[in-house]
Structures are given as C-alpha cells and as structure tokens.
Amino acid sequence: MTGQVATRESYGKALLALGESRNDVVVLDADLSGSTKTKAFSQQYPERFFNMGVAEANMIGTASGLASTGLTVFASSFAMFAVGKAFEQVRQEIALPIANVKICASHAGLTTGEDGASHQVLEDLAIMRVLPNMRVIVPADGRETEAAIAAVAASEGPAYVRLSRMKTPVFLPDDYEFEFGKIPVLRDGSDITLAACGVCVHPALEAAEMLATEGIQARVLNVACIKPLDEATLIAASRDTGAIVTVEEHQRRGGMGSAVAEVIAEQAPCHVRRLGMDDRFGESGDGAELLAHFGLDAPSIAQAARETLALKQKGR
C-alpha cells in the first residue's frame, strides 16, 4: 500500500480480510455502506451483513444482541450519527454490558470537508473516551487502520474507531503493528514534542522536518490509541523535551489533547499547547484547505511549536 488512501477505505479492506478468515464476524451499517466502505463485505458475505436503515440507535441495539450470541460485530455509520444519534444505546447496550461490538465511524472531523458543519463531528472523542470499557482509536493512515481493525477484532469488548473521508498519505512502515495502550515515537527529538492523532499525524511529521532546518529537534508521537492511553511515553516526552503541542481535528476541549494534558498535569507538568477547534463548528470546504484555515496544517503546527518553545525557554 502506497500513495494516498482514506482510512475508511482501508477499513473496508480489513473487513474483507476478516470475513474470509473468520465466520463469526458480522457487519451492520446504517444505509451508508457505499460511504463507510462496508459495501464490499456486504457483497462478498451477504448472509453476515445487515443494512439497518437510517436508524443508528436500532443498529447499536441489534449489534449488542448479536454480540450476546458470541459473534464479533462491527457497526458503521458516519461518526456524527454513530455517536450523536445513538449515545444512549452505545452507553447502555455496548459500554455497560461490555458487548463485543466495534463501532467504526467514518466521516469524522474537519476533513469530512464539503459536507459541512452538520456532518463534521468534532466532539466524538470527548464523548467516547469518558465511557467506561470503551477503547478509542484514531488511525493515522491506511496501514495503521488495517492493523487496528485486526487488533480490535482479535480482542473482546467494545471499541470506537474513528475513520476519515479524505485521502491522506500512507507513511507508516510495511511491518507496522498496532498495540493498545502504546504510543509509537515516529521521530525522536529533545526540544519539543508534537503529539498528533489521525490525519494530523503526517502534518506533524512535516512540521518536525521544517523545524529541523532551524535546528529545532521535535519528537513526534502518534497518539492513535487515545484510550487506553500510554502514560509512560507521554511522561517521558514531558521530562525529556519540556514542552508538548497536541494536534487533532476535534474540539480542543475534551479530545486527545485534553487526555494528554490530564496526564501531564498530574504526573509530569510541562508546557502544553492544544491545537484543534476552539469552541466552534467547522465549515464546508476542501479538507486540506480546512486544516490550513483552522491552523492544523504543517506550517501552523511548526509555528505553534516555535511559540511554545519560546515560552519554555523563558521559563513561563
């Protein structure tokens, strides 16, 4: 796999592989299989695919019931609807009974693009990470998506996997392995840490390259697994670099950046700056242009790092 691919596409590919290797895997979709990329599974394994219609709450309840019979269930819709329309059912029927259901939601974040603010869910990580028993994963590229889907399928219990609509570079190595509760260090550095998730990881790496030309060595963390969170790697980054910038296409409050800040504030205080949406909704537009507009592209990340590093050097 090379070039660019949307993580939702890699999700569809991973489902096909699971369908071939395991007959206990079933897939539910809320009448969006063409967009969530579950359509290929539905065509290959129609007896194990259920189109639940435009009814996410019912889909989640059905998924829980199927899981109670010993099946491994994947339930998909747009993230705005999988989380926003079905929160009660997710809490009561998935998280509370620890059902073996994997909620894989596409079209999350600003890069949902032209669909606009109504569909660009920017609150889902905050909502899902506070649910007991719920694991929360945001793959950085297509390769990590396939690895993450294989990992959630092989482990019991609930998971929320956030997937993107926009095609992004495939940049992780061929032998990449996803681990729950582990933050990979993609680039080492001693001056500042850039901690990103999802589509913002590659821009963070680009920002680190820009900073390197100025003599600034940035450590880059791929916080794909937001829950359980790898506290040890975050604490080490805080102590080694003394400053952290977090980057996500999500509200600044409650998301990955807040999860990182909670750990740092309690265990290894340092300068933390959170990049994300500042208490506002998104806009309709090209996904990459929206990232730039809202300060989440590589030049913006690099500038935020410079400003944070300046505060660190002043001891403020």
Q: What is the pLDDT of residue 316?
A: 61
Average pLDDT over residues 287-291: 97
Q: Fill in the amino acid letter for 258.
A: S
Residue 1 has pLDDT above 70, yes or no: no
120-142 residue pLDDT tens = 999 999 999 999 999 999 999 99
30-87 residue pLDDT tens = 999 999 999 999 999 999 999 999 999 999 999 999 999 999 999 999 999 999 999 9
Average pLDDT over residues 159-183: 97
Cα 5 to Cα 170: distance, rounded to the nearest angstrom: 7
Q: What is the pLDDT of residue 291?
A: 98
Do residues 195 and 167 touch, judged by C-beta distance below 8 A? Answer: no
Domain 185-314 has CATH 3.40.50.920: yes
Mean pLDDT of the chain: 97
Q: Fill in the amino acid letter for 198.
A: G
Q: CA dist 72 to 128, 139, 150, Å?
A: 20, 20, 12
Residue 22 has pLDDT above 70, yes or no: yes
Tell which CATH classification among 3.30.830.10, 3.40.50.9100, 3.50.50.60, 3.40.50.970 matches the domain 4-169: 3.40.50.970
Residue ranges, comma separated, of all CATH 3.40.50.970 domains in the chain are: 4-169
* Catalytic residue of the set 56, 93, 231, 249: 56
Residue ranges, comma separated, of all CATH 3.40.50.920 domains in the chain are: 185-314
Q: What is the pLDDT of residue 109?
A: 97
Do residues 249 and 110 touch, judged by C-beta distance below 8 A? Answer: yes
259-286 residue pLDDT tens = 999 999 999 999 999 999 999 999 999 9
Check residue 156 and give left, alpha or beta (phi > 0: left; psi -120 to 50: alpha).
beta
pLDDT above 70 as % of the chain: 99
Q: Is 47 a catalytic residue?
A: no
Angle, helices 298-314/201-212, rounded to nearest 10 degrees: 60
Q: What is the pLDDT of residue 260?
A: 98
